[in-house]
Amino acid sequence: MISDSLEGIIMNIVLLGPPGVGKGTVAEILTGKYKIPHISTGNMLREAVAKGTSLGTRAKVYIDAGQLVPDELVTTMVRDRVAQPDCSKGFILDGYPRTSAQARALQEFAAIDVVLNFTAPPKTIIERISGRRTCRTCSATYHIKYSPPKKEGACDKDGGELYQRSDEKPGIITERLKVYEEQNKPLIDYYRNEGLLSDIDASYHITEIGKIVKQCELTISKSQ
């Protein structure tokens, strides 16, 4: 059961939606409101790849090809993460599960209270992702249209080179969206049948992020 009062309550939230739909941005806002950690499997995987861990090396092959990382790799990572002390009062899980098999695996070690399904047109998502640029030295992020650097191609913070990640190129994005649609329909149906899923209209511009957050808050409140 979810409540604005968190004392004695475990609140486990799953965010669903294709890459670039804005889940991460909204998750950080919700984290501030509900005082539970935002767990992004995408960020965790990228960190593992950057560090060259065993899991990261195996995952890199799939990420570079715009494919989903196999269930067993991600499930192990998530199980270890939600067992950490900061998740004792709950968590906001972003990027997992992505298949009904992962959802069933998740049930074995964490009970989910509510699932927020973010949606937006493919054209909107491609524009959002393909415009991103990342600093090679400090990892600061920009967008060539919505939040460009002061100097083209250079980070405002340290002057580092800005680059486009391989998984942020239009062709790879299109493939990622195709894979997402094919593999996530059963998952969405699964959670909808469980009575846990609510659709969130995430097509609003970043300047109207409050409209997306409000939808999430109302859904969480109704699940009490």
What local confidence, expressed as pLDDT, does residue 68 receive? 74
For residues 119 and 202, is the Cβ–Cβ distance under 8 A?
yes
How far is it, in rounded angstroms, from Cα 25 to Cα 94? 11
Structural domains of the chain in order of their starting residue, each with its CATH number: 11-122+180-222 (3.40.50.300)
Residues of the chain with pLDDT under 70: 1-10, 224
What local confidence, expressed as pLDDT, does residue 1 receive? 38
What local confidence, expressed as pLDDT, does residue 56 receive? 86
> For 52-111, what is each residue's pLDDT tens digit?
988 889 888 888 887 878 888 889 889 989 999 999 999 999 989 988 889 999 999 999
Beta strands 141-143 and 11-16 are unpaired
What local confidence, expressed as pLDDT, does residue 19 receive? 84
Beta-carbon contacts of 68 under 8 Å, excluding residues fewer than 6 positions away, are: 62, 98, 99, 179, 183
- By annotation, the residues acting in catalysis are 23, 98, 132, 165, 176
What local confidence, expressed as pLDDT, does residue 9 receive? 53
How far is it, in rounded angstroms, from Cα 30 to Cα 78? 20
Q: Give per-residue burial for 89-99: e unless 16+ CB within 10 Å, then b.
A: bbbbbbbbbbb
Q: pTM for the whole thing?
A: 0.78
